[in-house]
Amino acid sequence: MKYFSTRGDGQELSFEETVLTGLAPDGGLYIPVEIPKLPEDWRRSWAELTFQELSLEVLSLYISPSEISRDELRELVDNSYKSFRHPDVAPLKKLSDELFVLELFHGPTFAFKDVALQLLGNLFEFFLLRRNARKKAGEPRERLTVVGATSGDTGSAAIYGLRNKADISIFILHPKGRVSPIQEAQMTTVTDYNVHNVAVKGTFDDCQDIVKALFADREFNATHRLGAINSINWARILAQTVYYFLSFFHAQRQLPAPPPGTAEPQLQYVVPTGNFGDILAGYYAARMGLPGARLAVATNANDILARFWRSGRYEKTESGPALEGTEGKGAAAPAGGASDGKQAGAGGVKETLSPAMDILVSSNFERLLWYLSFEASGSSNRKAACAAVAGWISKVKTDGKVEVPTSVLELARRDFVAERISDEQTAETIRSFYKSSPSYIADPHTAVGLAAARLIAPQNLPSTVQIVLSTAHPAKFSEAVASALQSEPSFDFARDVLPAEFKGLLEKERRVIDVEAADINLVKEVIESVAQKRREGEGEGEGALSV
């Protein structure tokens, strides 16, 4: 299996090259030359497999055994998920016969991103160790400088996946003061020698733009050998496809058998969506052959994706009429002033109760646009699809918006449905599911998904069963959850929500580098300073810095 850029730079890379490169030199994202189909007997032969066993089967479809042998891949997978707190890795919780929650927060940092980043960290280390083992005496070792941006959960998950890894330095940019206290503490209290937290005065989109610009700087990239941990890295999308298959089989076990002569239930995945990586994994699973209803995109007030499905315009700020029924909802100020992560304040990003989704532009949406363009043009001209995507993304950068052809929008609507959820709806959903039977405490991102599922359900066939992806533990967004449930006398946050692992976290020693402006040159200075100290034998630096 080879991989190429959505913008068509002409190169085809191996899986190893794709993982280590991250972002293509032309700014595009890597996708496989073809999407493999599932084995004919997959529903029988995979039905009883564990998450780890399913990972081996799914990943093997995309990774040649000449690159990673089956035994090596099995060991990588087993090592990646041994620290998860639940034996299923991603357990499926039944709330009713029509609604399930897929809990993806049982990894070391209590967020769905652990599923991909534990594997990605091990892949980075595996490839570097193998490359360095082949070097002759005296040859310099290959190193990787991993750079990523986070609105909260990616940073801690990446850090826990890469801490203390040989020949790897990791720099995580987060918007200063705009992530939740728990999220910030999870990142900055990791003081391993190779971990560097960079607090940038700006928004998440500023941080993400800096990361993309660093990768586009060929000289800087070549000097420091940059690696990507954001969901622009193909390995993250691939790892996340697995829990769609796992939940499919687990749902089959829990659902009642359909009456004779009736169709089996159709599963619909409802995904809280910011950067579009999590739901894109579901799209790949569907393209491989996983049956299901249309995938459901659930956004908060930062609704660039919901607006695209309504109008066909992918635009940073709305230029047409507001979504029907949402006028005045999802305002910048969150309900009760209880936002944990504050991405608002610049560039049109609204501050919400679900801050990990407070994103203006969804990076992974480019991958979907490529497939839509390719299919709309007859699935015969890869270069034409690359050119179309490159043109669309360029217009978004220069004009802030692009409108796709009707044929592309119709294909998008065939495969997806989208809903926008306000803060008021989010808080009410947290309350209503807490008071339901069985009682369920949802974090605000999961609540966005649950609220969207309610709105979408009447559009579905009667046999449809919804699975909402639960992307984070509610303790990671304590203010939003506590505020929503403050009127419930039976609720006790410390007793009902707070994990033992979080107790005392806010008081631990921290290490962070402050960057006083969203300036790529200031971030370059940080990376170069750390690299210089390493070359001089001083380690990678300690303590708090400011540039």
DSSP structure class, residue 298: E
Burial class of residue 263, CB neighbours in 10 A (0-12, 13-18, 19+) = exposed
In this prediction, residue 547 carries a pLDDT of 52
Residue 60 has pLDDT above 80, yes or no: yes
In this prediction, residue 540 carries a pLDDT of 60
CB 186 within 8 A of CB 508: no
Least confident of 38-42, 290-294, 536-540: 536-540
Phi-psi map region of 225: left, alpha, beta (phi>0 left; psi -120 to 50 alpha): left
In this prediction, residue 256 carries a pLDDT of 86
In this prediction, residue 284 carries a pLDDT of 98
Helix axes 70-81, 51-60, angle to 10 degrees: 140
In this prediction, residue 510 carries a pLDDT of 94
Can you tell me the mean pLDDT for 5-10? 92
Can you tell me the mean pLDDT for 532-543? 68
In the sheet with 295-299, reading across from the earlier edge strand, the strands are 92-96, 99-103, 464-470, 266-272, 295-299, 416-420
CB 55 within 8 A of CB 76: no
Residue 343 has pLDDT above 90, yes or no: no
**Residue 323 host element (H or E):** none
Residue 236 has pLDDT above 80, yes or no: yes
Residue 139 CA: distances (Å) to CA of 66, 132, 133, 356, 535: 25, 9, 11, 42, 15
Q: What is the pLDDT of residues 116-172, one digit of tens each?
A: 999 999 999 999 999 999 999 989 999 999 999 987 778 999 999 999 999 999 999
- Most confident range (mean pLDDT) of 360-364, 380-384, 520-524 is 520-524
Q: What is the pLDDT of residues 62-109, one digit of tens each?
A: 999 999 999 999 999 999 999 999 999 999 999 999 999 999 999 999
Instruction: Give the active site residue among 2, 93, 94, 113.
Output: 113
- What does residue 32 show for φ and ψ, rounded to 5 degrees? -70, 150
Residue 248 and residue 251: Cα distance in Å, rounded?
A: 5
pTM for the full predicted model: 0.91
Strands 30-32 and 3-5: antiparallel
Residue 341 has pLDDT above 60, yes or no: no
Burial class of residue 275, CB neighbours in 10 A (0-12, 13-18, 19+) = buried
Residue 37 has pLDDT above 80, yes or no: yes
In three-state secondary structure terms, 533 is: helix
**37 a catalytic residue:** no
The closest of 243, 41, 159 to 511, measured between CA atoms, is 159
Residue 426 has pLDDT above 60, yes or no: yes
Residue 336 CA: distances (Å) to CA of 357, 378, 426: 19, 50, 12
DSSP structure class, residue 231: T
Can you tell me the mean pLDDT for 200-212? 91
3-state helix, strand, coil in the chain (%, to 5): 45, 15, 40
At CA 11, angle to CA 7 and CA 16, rounded to 5?
Answer: 105
Residue 342 has pLDDT above 60, yes or no: no
The closest of 290, 367, 234 to 36, measured between CA atoms, is 290
pLDDT band at residue 360 under the 50/70/90 scheme: confident
pLDDT band at residue 344 under the 50/70/90 scheme: very low
Residue 289 has pLDDT above 70, yes or no: yes
User: Residue 340, Cα to own-chain centre: how many angstroms?
Assistant: 19
In this prediction, residue 460 carries a pLDDT of 96
- What does residue 254 show for φ and ψ, rounded to 5 degrees? -95, -20
Give 475-520 as a DSSP string: GGGHHHHHHHTTT-TT--HHHHT--GGGTTGGGS----EEESSS-H
- Interacting residues of 445 by C-beta distance below 8 A, sequence separation 6+: 272, 354, 356, 357, 471, 472, 477
Please count the helices (runs of H) and the strands (runs of E) in the chain. Answer: 21, 16
Burial class of residue 198, CB neighbours in 10 A (0-12, 13-18, 19+) = buried
In this prediction, residue 333 carries a pLDDT of 31
In three-state secondary structure terms, 5 is: strand
Can you tell me the mean pLDDT for 193-218? 92
Can you tell me the mean pLDDT for 483-502? 95
| 265 cis-preceded (ω within 30 degrees of 0) | no
Q: Enter the tokens of residue 521.
A: 């040159």
| Mean pLDDT for the chain overall | 91
In this prediction, residue 538 carries a pLDDT of 57
Share of the chain above pLDDT 70, in %: 93
Residue 114 and residue 236: Cα distance in Å, rounded?
A: 10
